[in-house]
């Protein structure tokens, strides 16, 4: 896993002993030390968040919408807000402020995979913004700066420079303008996807042309229509991490998560 993450404090909130046990066992298999704190109720969890720093929260949706919303509110008010993942949600009862949604694991393998994904959320990632407009690059940088994900951002004005930096700089994520002079966005995307080390790419365009979106997605990229905002960025990044946003179906962990530079 590398990077600068040394250890993580994980708060597991569930009334079910079996659920807490499974998540705790999954955390013991993580590639970095994880201190697991357990709470059987949202009230106890709120008390922990008030007095102790926490990096991640696994919140069992079976506690109910009201209890989940109350706990999430407390987490957001913390001096250093943790990333809150709600597990096992149904579409009609998803807490609006959850940072991510995932299926509740039912086996040790699933718990291990979930823990690996959540730990990746706390790792800083290197992002490259590619756009011939300096104004757009500045705007995208500002949006990324307030993302719930930790991103170290570099920006360049053209596709050729982007390919050189991507080859030498070990970027995890590229925000790529579709319309650039010289090597355009789709051509740059095709070259990026040939790299031995996978790079996740988000294509950016002022219009959502069906043919363009289809070509970008066929090459393995996500798509954002300009202008976009921090929630749009976070929605895309949650997908890269194998999590989901509110209103999007939550797949079973056993279905697997595609390999990406975020892995």
User: What is the arithmetic mean of pLDDT over 31-40?
Assistant: 92
Whether 107 and 207 map to the same domain: the answer is no
Residue 259 resides in a domain: no
The number of distinct structural domains making up the chain is: 2
Confidence grade of residue 196 (pLDDT, cut at 50, 70, 90): low
User: What is the arithmetic mean of pLDDT over 77-90?
Assistant: 85
> Where does a domain end: 78, 94, 122?
122
DSSP string, 96-146: TT-SEEEPPP-SHHHHHHHHHHHHHHTS-EEEEEE-S-HHHHHHHHHHHHT
pTM score of the predicted model: 0.73
Beta carbons of 98 and 75 less than 8 angstroms apart: no
Whether 97 and 147 map to the same domain: the answer is no
User: What is the arithmetic mean of pLDDT over 109-122?
Assistant: 88
pLDDT in tens, 161-194: 999 998 887 788 999 999 999 999 999 999 998 8
Which residues constitute the domain of residue 100?
8-122
Confidence grade of residue 1 (pLDDT, cut at 50, 70, 90): very low
CATH, residue 194: 3.40.50.2300
Given a cut of 90, whether residue 54 has pLDDT beyond it is yes
Residue 251 resides in a domain: no
Whether 149 and 168 map to the same domain: the answer is yes
> Where does a domain end: 88, 122, 156?
122
User: What is the arithmetic mean of pLDDT over 237-246?
Assistant: 73
Question: What is the model's pLDDT at position 201?
Answer: 94
Torsion angle, alpha carbons of 34, 94, 103, 234, to 10: -60
């Amino acid at each position: 896993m590398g990077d600068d993450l040394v250890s993580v404090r994980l708060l597991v909130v569930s009334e079910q002993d079996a659920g807490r046990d499974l998540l705790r066992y999954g955390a013991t298999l993580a590639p970095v030390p994880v201190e697991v704190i357990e709470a059987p109720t949202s009230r106890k969890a709120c008390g922990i968040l008030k007095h102790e720093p926490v990096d991640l929260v696994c919140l069992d949706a079976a506690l109910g919408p009201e209890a989940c919303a109350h706990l999430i509110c407390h987490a957001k008010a913390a001096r250093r807000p943790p990333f809150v993942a709600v597990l096992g949600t149904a579409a009609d009862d998803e807490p609006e402020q959850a940072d991510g949604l995932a299926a509740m694991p039912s086996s040790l393998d699933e718990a291990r995979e979930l823990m690996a994904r959540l730990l990746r959320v706390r790792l800083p990632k290197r992002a490259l913004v590619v756009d011939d407009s300096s104004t757009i690059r500045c705007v995208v940088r500002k949006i990324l700066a307030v993302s719930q994900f930790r991103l170290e951002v570099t920006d360049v004005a053209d596709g050729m420079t982007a390919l050189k930096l991507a080859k030498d700089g070990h970027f995890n994520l590229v925000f790529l303008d579709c319309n650039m002079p010289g090597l355009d966005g789709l051509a740059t995307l095709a070259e990026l996807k040939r790299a031995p080390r996978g790079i996740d790419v988000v294509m950016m365009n002022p219009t959502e042309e069906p043919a363009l979106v289809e070509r970008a997605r066929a090459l393995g990229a996500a798509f954002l229509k300009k202008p976009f905002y921090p929630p749009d960025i976070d929605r895309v990044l949650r997908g890269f991490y194998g999590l989901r946003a509110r209103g999007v179906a939550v797949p079973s962990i056993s279905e697997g998560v595609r390999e990406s530079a975020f892995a």
